[in-house]
Amino acid sequence: MIAPLNSPIWSMISGFGLPYPPFDYNSGMWVRQLSERQVGKKAPKQTKELPKFNESLKSEAIIRDPRLRRQLLKDLGPGYETKKGVLTTTED
């Protein structure tokens, strides 16, 4: 199978719904870059940028213990805070 890296087919064949390997348990499918010469002239072109790894990953950690909250913020460093016990980034 040959498809551009940003083709929706990668998410469609993935058992996890992700556009990058691994696509499924023991599928053996992976990606590798090929030159236009290796692919041939009829290969579809990549038209848009690839999604960033975990771009849409969201998590809501509610930390009720104030000692744990202080330690977590200390370990994470700048760019994080808690609002009503929910850990968030300050960059939003």
Give residue-wise pLDDT tens across range 52-80.
666 666 667 778 888 988 898 899 888 88
Same domain? 42 vs 1 = yes
Same domain? 38 vs 65 = no
pLDDT at 51: 62
Same domain? 29 vs 62 = no
Q: Domain range holding 24? A: 1-46
**27-46 confidence digits (pLDDT tens):** 877 778 877 777 776 666 66
**Distance between alpha carbon 32 and the CA centroid of its chain, in Å?**
18
Cis before residue 4, ω within 30 degrees of 0? no
pTM of the model: 0.40
Same domain? 37 vs 5 = yes
Number of domains observed in the structure of the chain: 2
Same domain? 36 vs 68 = no
Q: Check whether 92 has a pLDDT greater than 60.
A: no
**Distance between alpha carbon 54 and the CA centroid of its chain, in Å?**
2
**In this prediction, what percent of the chain has a pLDDT beyond 70?**
76
Same domain? 69 vs 40 = no
